[in-house]
């Protein structure tokens, strides 16, 4: 996500170029908001391009997707610019911790601050708004406006470097497992799901990704935590499975794939889709349990045969 700043005071979507458009076929259970998050295009832009006024869509419906260069999303009047301080932090739909968790934000990202309430700040995000505890951001006094455009169509800004780093490293690497895993970003979370089209849960995601590399994992996170060899957190390598006990569970109930730089990719229940998060984030640091190495994808010396024996036994 590239961020530019201007001093305006209204919310609108302005067509700036006549460019080619593409289409998107709606999958079962998808909403306009979910598609907006998946494609990185504001809901209002999708509504305008398709003449929609509500969030209800039908399966198989074909949407016109405006080229990202054809619009800019201009934020509302703001109080300042908020820069993310922690390595990773999760915004919420409301100004309290019990509200719905949104996509994690990374250190160095900057957003327009548009409201404050009881120790929380409201930010204008790429798709909608979100709230963060005030201690997690640094606020600049200058009233600015954030204009968002996907990095695939404009020069990358320094503000987005933290988010791009691990993704770019994977893209440049020879780690086929991680490259496959990254293609799932944005795929919706669905309990019991193992399909990109209908959604995946955490172990369904890891099962599908490893299967693409010829490695069969057991179906559940607790079963996967017994495959391969144990790895210390300090010795993690890209491709290792990382496990957690979330929501005060007494047993392992969540799994993801380590991608490097202290980050891992997983099907997140709270965010509702596959995403990259930080192991240093308080929630995951607290609930982290163990890691397992099923294969060494960094040296291309797969230990799949040994892993398969472990699975079969």
305: pLDDT strictly greater than 50 = no
pLDDT digits (tens, 9 = 90+) for 4-61: 433 333 333 333 333 345 788 888 888 887 777 666 667 777 888 888 876 678 888 8
Residues 177, 269, single domain; the answer is yes
Catalytic residue among 92, 266, 273, 302: 266
- 36 and 149 together in one domain: no
- State the pLDDT at residue 256: 97
Is the domain of 17 the same as that of 137? no
* 263 DSSP assignment: E
Residue 168 counted as domain residue: no
User: Does a structural domain hold residue 165?
Assistant: no
CATH number at residue 149: 2.30.30.40
**Of the residues 27, 56, 153, 254, which is catalytic?**
254
pTM recorded for the entire structure: 0.50
For residue 267, the enclosing domain spans 173-312
Residue 301 has pLDDT above 70, yes or no: no
CB-CB contact of 76 with 10 (8 Å) = yes
Q: Is 254 a catalytic residue?
A: yes
In the residue annotation, 202 being an active-site residue is answered as yes
Q: Is residue 257 part of a domain?
A: yes
Inside any domain, residue 241:
yes
* Number of folded domains that form the chain: 3
Cα-Cα end-to-end distance for the chain:
46
Do both 196 and 213 map to the same domain? yes
Q: Which of 27, 92, 202, 273 is catalytic?
A: 202
């Amino acid at each position: 996500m590239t961020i530019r700043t201007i001093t305006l005071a209204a919310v609108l979507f302005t067509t700036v170029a006549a460019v080619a458009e593409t289409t998107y076929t709606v999958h079962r259970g998808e909403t306009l908001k979910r598609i907006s998050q998946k494609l990185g295009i504001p809901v209002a832009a999708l509504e305008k391009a398709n003449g929609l006024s509500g969030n209800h869509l039908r399966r198989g419906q074909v949407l016109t997707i405006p080229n990202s260069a054809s619009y800019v999303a201009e934020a509302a009047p703001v109080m300042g610019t908020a820069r993310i301080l922690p390595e990773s932090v999760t915004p919420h739909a409301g100004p309290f911790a019990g509200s719905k968790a949104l996509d994690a934000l990374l250190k160095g990202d900057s957003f327009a601050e548009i409201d404050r309430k009881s120790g929380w700040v409201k930010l204008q995000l790429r798709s909608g708004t979100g709230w963060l505890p005030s201690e997690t951001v640094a606020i600049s006094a200058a009233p600015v406006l954030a204009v968002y455009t996907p990095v695939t169509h404009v020069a990358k800004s320094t503000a987005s470097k933290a988010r791009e780093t691990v993704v770019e490293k994977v893209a440049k690497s020879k780690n086929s497992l991680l490259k496959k895993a990254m293609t799932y970003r944005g795929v919706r979370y669905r309990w019991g799901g193992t399909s990109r089209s209908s959604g995946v849960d955490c172990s369904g995601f890891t099962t599908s990704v490893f299967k693409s590399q010829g490695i069969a994992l057991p179906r559940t996170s607790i079963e996967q935590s017994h495959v391969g060899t144990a790895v210390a957190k300090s010795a993690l390598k890209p491709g290792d499975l990382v496990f957690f006990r979330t929501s005060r569970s007494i047993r392992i109930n969540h799994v993801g794939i380590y991608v490097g730089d202290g980050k891992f990719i997983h099907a997140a229940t709270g965010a509702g889709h596959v995403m990259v998060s930080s192991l240093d984030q308080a929630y995951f640091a607290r609930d982290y349990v163990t890691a397992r190495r099923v294969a060494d994808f960094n040296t291309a010396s797969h230990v799949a045969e040994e892993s398969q024996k472990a699975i079969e036994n």
